[in-house]
Amino acid sequence: IMKTEFFYQKKFESVQSFKTELKEYIHYYNHDRIKQKLKGLSPVQYRTQSLVLT
């Protein structure tokens, strides 16, 4: 998923810009991206919900 959503769609000016944008993408993927498999929650929200319920 990361290759199709992030890597193949961009050209990076430097290694540093790649690293910066990769960190931003990983944060987006884990905190903001909604997944239907996870009942409409982001991965972090889903994991947090599981901890609260136990």
| 2-41 tens-digit pLDDT | 888 888 888 999 999 999 999 999 999 889 888 888 888 8
CA atoms within 13 A on the CB side of 54: 5
Predicted model pTM: 0.71
| Dist CA 53 CA 19 (whole Å) | 36
For the chain, the structural domain boundaries read 14-53
Which pLDDT value is given to residue 25?
93
Residues forming beta bridges with residue 35, ordered by sequence position:
41
